Amino acid sequence: MPSQKPADRIHSLRQLLNHHSYQYYVLDAPEIPDAEYDRLYRELQQLELQYPELITPDSPTQRIGDQPLAAFSQIRHEVPMLSLDNVFSDDELNDFYRRAQTKLDLNTEIEFAAEPKLDGLAVSLIYENGMLARAGTRGDGVTGEDITQNIRTIHSIPLHLMGEDWPVKLDVRGEVFMPKAGFELLNQRAREKNEKEFANPRNAAAGSLRQLDPRITASRSLAMYCYAVGNADSMGKFTTHSDVLNQLSQWGLPLCKERSVVKGVKGCLDYFNTMGQKRIALPYDIDGVVYKVNRLDWQKELGFVAKAPRWAVAHKFPAQEEITTVNAIEFQVGRTGALTPVARLEPVFVGGVTVSNATLHNMDEVERKEIRVGDRVIIRRAGDVIPEVVSVVPGSRQLHANKIVLPAHCPVCGSDVVREEGEAIARCSGGLYCAAQRKESIKHFASRKAMDIEGLGDKLVEQLVDEKRIEHVDDLYRLQLNDIASLERMGEKSASNLLAALDKSKTVTLSRFIYALGVREVGEATALALAKHFGSLEKLQDASEEDLQTVPDVGPVVARHVFHFFHEPHNRQIIQRLRTAGIHWPDQQANEQNQSLAGLTFVITGTLTGMTRDEARAALQARGGKVAGSVSAKTSYLVVGDSPGSKAEKAEQLGVKILDEAGLMKLLAE
Ligand code: IVH
């Protein structure tokens, strides 16, 4: 629009940029591609460079100041920033509710504004005539630190409120936090640079806000949700807390979408349970929920005790982190011989269960975290995630605690342990001589996604091997009723059930059978691709490494593992015996065309557990799906494994559908 005067163009560019930034950061609903936003931004920058007298502090180009502070100055909160009382059980919640009812002299139900309790740090934003004037940390509740420079770098916080009719002075309270994806990314970067990682998103958020150089804060992924107004009187006409929050949202401030209005103790508990279930899937950490009496006149009447209001309470989830002692470190041998160090812990109640073991993944991890026997360690169990050791409690080391070393021999069979150059994983070289590897391969064979032998659980496999009733998978199909019934804790009934399940498992598909064999690097998706490509076991067994590499996404490594597996005489013998025992599958048309995913574009991020990313890609492509490297508005699905990086955040922002590993397998099975 060359006809526009520079001042007018600058004005409309700012409006446009503010609008799109609100769509993107607050509503998660971008209307234009990033490149278009960048173009508008650069145009504004250019004009401001030409006409510096037209720069205003609330221009989108002015978020990041370039002057580090020497120190934070102090900020006094005109209305103190309070904390909350906690309840940890239904009973305690009931007590809170009764106290409020009694004080209000009510026998009707109380309505609450309910929200997640975010795990970050409280801040106060002061808007004067709609302009962000100052921002401070909570500090001791009365005096905090002036972190205005850093708060300005958070894109979802408006430098200028939308709409009009704002009070002359508005004191917005809320929580600044670091979304999970941003936290993972930050720690990944720290690992790459051999720097110390943050223990949790809360510490990372606090550390990022406490930077004297706003450019560092700007490089961190921070967000904020507003949850209250400090100077409530400024909001004159409103009668409920939820209306106040909705008004804040109207002014363009970021609010948590999970907020709700609930009634009575039952409404609170339902909300608590729903959020407990949603918790893992949320893109940010929460440690409970907060209930606030919704009527503002009742809030006033209830007032405060010490530092907390009587009209609000935090209902906390069971702790997800606890401290305990490492009693021993042992090595577990897996199906492929991989040795996994496991910490045996003094049992501790965390995340709702008692934990006495935590995986240490591999020796690199043990060394990085410097864990030794006798150490006090922080254990985390989040949701259904396997418990892990977060870090050693500083100063808890025993005087003579030895460094953990990789054993030279397999703890189960005594064979040499080998760790190849550059590999994180050490393996027992005993192969099928090793009882641990045999047990694990039988467990894998019987598992649900493999032969699906109902009733053949881990414990029973161990008993069968330990009692020498079976050695390899083919022995399963020679078991007699008495072999099983005579085991401890087994009877005739369960023995005959198991025999029936074994019989049923003989009818299988080729891809399940291939998967069940437990070839290294062959997960479900690769097994499926191999079955499709070759159509018969004979052809697969006779394939050369070159043949194998023609299967979509089978690379040299997988090809070598598959080739070696089928050229090992012992493996061939076991397969022959399995087929003689009656295992069979329907004939399959090679290269059968199932193009159910045609027209869809996928992006894969994070670590998958049942297959590699390459396998997942191959499987999606085999069904006609496209697999891209980066997330855009055109992405149909983002497949996320463990520790997803910035892609998950991007997808979240673009509203791209997210598929976890189970969802992916379901889609592939359709
Ligand atoms: S309301 C007077 N709502 O929890 C009411 N606080 O343990 C003051 N917090 O200092 C707080 N999420 O930093 C409120 N949805 C939420 C919250 C929340 C997190 C924090 C806040 C407060 C602390 C008290």
Contact 151, 242 (CB under 8 A): no
Pick the CATH number of 594-669 from 3.90.1300.10, 3.90.1150.10, 1.20.1080.10, 3.40.50.10190: 3.40.50.10190
Are 530 and 621 in contact, with CB atoms under 8 Å apart?
no
Whether 84 has a pLDDT exceeding 60, the answer reads yes
Confirm whether 117 is a catalytic residue.
Answer: yes
Give 87-138 pLDDT, tens digit per residue.
Answer: 989 999 999 999 999 999 998 999 999 999 999 999 999 999 999 999 999 9
**Do 103 and 110 contact (CB within 8 A), yes or no?**
no
Can you tell me which atom of ligand 1 is nearest the CA of 86?
Answer: 7
228 CA → ligand 1 middle, Å: 9
The first and second tokens of residue 476, run together, are: 């399963």
Kindly give the number of the ligand 1 atom that is closest to the alpha carbon of 256.
15
**Could you read off the pLDDT of 255-299 as tens digits, one per residue?**
999 999 999 999 999 999 999 999 988 999 999 999 999 999 999
- The CA distance from 535 to 589, in Å, is 6
Query: Which ligand 1 atom is the nearest neighbour of the CA of 116?
Result: 15
Which architecture, in CATH terms, is 435-589? Orthogonal Bundle (1.10)
Q: Is CATH 1.10.287.610 the classification given to domain 6-62? A: yes
Out of 81, 86, 117, 304, mutate this one to test ligand 1's pocket (max ligand atoms within 8 Å of CB): namely: 117
CA of 309 to the centre of ligand 1 (A): 11
d(CA 660, CA 637): 10
Q: What is the distance in A from the centroid of ligand 1 to the CA of 175? A: 7
Residue of the nearest CA to atom 12 in ligand 1? 117
Contact partners, residue 479, CB within 8 Å, separation at least 6: 464, 469, 470, 498, 499, 502
The candidate with the shortest Cα–Cα distance to 211, out of 288, 152, 133, is 152
Crossing angle of helices 613-622/661-669, nearest 10°?
A: 30
Position 589: which residue type?
Answer: Q
Question: Within 10 Å of residue 457's Cβ, how many Cβ atoms?
Answer: 13
Q: How sure is the predictor about 183, in pLDDT bands with cuts at 50, 70 and 90? A: very high
**Residue with CA nearest ligand 1 atom 7:** 84
CB 293 within 8 A of CB 299: yes
How remote is the CA of residue 243 from the centroid of ligand 1, in Å? 18
> What is the domain partition of the chain in residue ranges?
6-62, 86-316, 321-392, 435-589, 594-669
Q: Mean pLDDT check: name the lowest of 220-224, 319-323, 403-407.
A: 319-323
| Token representation of residue 557 | 């490594």
Cα of first residue to Cα of last residue in the chain, in angstroms, is 52
Mean pLDDT of the chain: 91
**Which residues line ligand 1 at a C-beta cut-off of 6 Å?**
82-84, 115, 117-118, 122, 138, 175, 227-228, 290, 309, 312, 314
What are residue 359's DSSP bridge partners?
A: 342, 388
In this predicted structure, the answer to whether residue 475 has a pLDDT above a threshold of 50 is yes
Tell me how far the alpha carbon of residue 83 lies from the centroid of ligand 1, in angstroms.
6
3-state DSSP assignment of residue 184: helix
Q: Which of 5, 103, 117, 657 is catalytic?
A: 117
* pLDDT beyond 90 at 432: no
Is the confidence at residue 593, as pLDDT, over 50? yes
Q: How many CB atoms neighbour CB 113 within 10 A?
A: 23
Q: Among the atoms of ligand 1, which is closest to the Cα of residue 83?
A: 24
Most informative mutation of 121, 175, 304 for ligand 1 (most atoms within 8 A of CB): 175
Query: Which residue lies with its CA nearest to atom 6 of ligand 1?
Result: 117
- In this prediction, residue 175 has a pLDDT band, given cuts at 50, 70 and 90, of very high
pLDDT for 493: 93
Position with higher pLDDT, 541 vs 353: 541
Tens digit of each residue's pLDDT (9 = 90 or more) over 627-638:
888 888 889 999
Fold of 86-316: D-amino Acid Aminotransferase; Chain A, domain 1 (3.30.470)
Nearest CA to ligand 1 atom 2: 82
Measured from the Cα of 228, ligand 1's closest atom is: 1
Average pLDDT rounded to a whole number, residues 482-500: 93
Ligand 1 centroid vs 84 CA: distance in angstroms?
6
Q: What's the confidence (pLDDT) of residue 19? A: 94
User: Which of 270, 5, 346, 251 lies closest to 112, judged by CA?
Assistant: 270
- The Å distance, Cα 174 to ligand 1 centre, comes to 7
Rounded to two decimals, what is the model's pTM?
0.60
Cβ neighbours of 408 (radius 10 Å): 9
Nearest residue (CA) to ligand 1, atom 17: 117
Residue whose CA is at the smallest distance from ligand 1 atom 18: 117
Q: What is the pLDDT of residue 384?
A: 63
| pLDDT given at position 590 | 45
Average pLDDT, integer, range 367-390 = 86
Query: 239 alpha carbon to ligand 1 midpoint, in Å?
Result: 21
Q: Assign domain 321-392 to its CATH architecture.
A: Beta Barrel (2.40)
Q: Residue of the nearest CA to atom 13 in ligand 1?
A: 122
